[in-house]
Amino acid sequence: MTTPAPAYTPYDGSVQPFTIGLQQLDLKNWIEIDGNLLAYLAEKQRLFALYGDRILVEEPGTHDAQKEVLELLSTHLVEQYPTLYSRDGENITITGLDKSVSLGDTDTSCLHRAASLVQEDLVLMRKDGERGWHLAAASLSFPSSWTLLEKFGRSMDDIHAPVPDFGAGTRNAGLISRMFDNLRPDRSVQRMNWSLQPDGNLYHPLASHQKGARYTDDDIAAQSYVRVERQTLRKLPVSGDVLFTIRIYLDPINALKKHPECRAVVEAFARQLEALNPAQLHYKGIMTIRDRLIDALKRL
């Protein structure tokens, strides 16, 4: 089985790490579906059977907003991907699956049902007078070096506290808060993140220092995967909550050989790694392997 070139390379100099880096989002491109759809959905189902209480959280009073998400998402999928999704009354069916997802009232969380339709994880952010914008509900199967339970109910500042230059009182924290306030239903945004990990697992709750300790002395390129997060932010027109989607792309480092501009991309990636300061390296869990990664990239 051949490894395709990466779909996204935000480490190529187009986006600077540890910046907000927002771009306007055409809502026609809100959700991304590829040939791995059924594999992602099967992995979500498997993980939920194992770790359900770590994957789904919801505050009381979020049902209507969750239902709003389910309706918006199902409508979008049927319109944009008619060969993959079809709706029959209160049910939506995915081509290739022998089951449908109910859009009506059931005992299952609406947000979780919505997340079972797509490769993205879904996080509902809500604003109140005490915490400001905070994580009110989520169906998150593929965490990137964090756990949902430690973030649930916490304010934006608390959620971003571990991120260098994003904690309470920083310029970035203020920008994020204003951005959430100013989002409009007709103007959504997207951004990209990247990290590195020593395996190809979508479910990756390990803290950064635990992740770094799992690299071995073997060929660093052979055991390194680039984890790219495509994130979108959409203001819900009825509830006023913000839906945060996270789509994970996992590429082995060696997949960069397939990129049509391999040399330019790996050189830019190496420069980004060289420019990271100690706090940023620690956060990404690559303090001890940064130099080996740079050497491996140059060999590509």
Strand 121-128 and strand 242-252: the pairing is antiparallel
Q: Is 146 exposed, middle or buried (0-12, 13-18, 19+ CB in 10 A)?
A: middle
CA angle, 290 then 296 then 300, to 5°: 145
Stated pTM of the model: 0.95
pLDDT band at residue 1 using 50, 70 and 90 as cut-offs: very low
For residue 188, is pLDDT > 90? yes
- Each residue's pLDDT tens digit, 85-97: 999 999 999 999 8
Contact indicator for 86, 117 with CB cutoff of 8 Å: no
Q: What is the predicted pLDDT for the residue at 212?
A: 66
Q: What is the predicted pLDDT for the residue at 211?
A: 65
Residue 268 DSSP SS3: helix
Q: What is the predicted pLDDT for the residue at 105?
A: 82
| Calpha distance 2→6 (Å, rounded) | 12
Q: Which two tokens stand for residue 234?
A: 């959409």
| Calpha distance 242→187 (Å, rounded) | 12
Edge-first strand listing for the sheet containing 100-102: 85-88, 91-94, 100-102
Q: Which two tokens stand for residue 85?
A: 């999704």
Contact indicator for 9, 272 with CB cutoff of 8 Å: no
Q: Please give the average per-residue pLDDT across 155-170, as a whole number.
A: 93
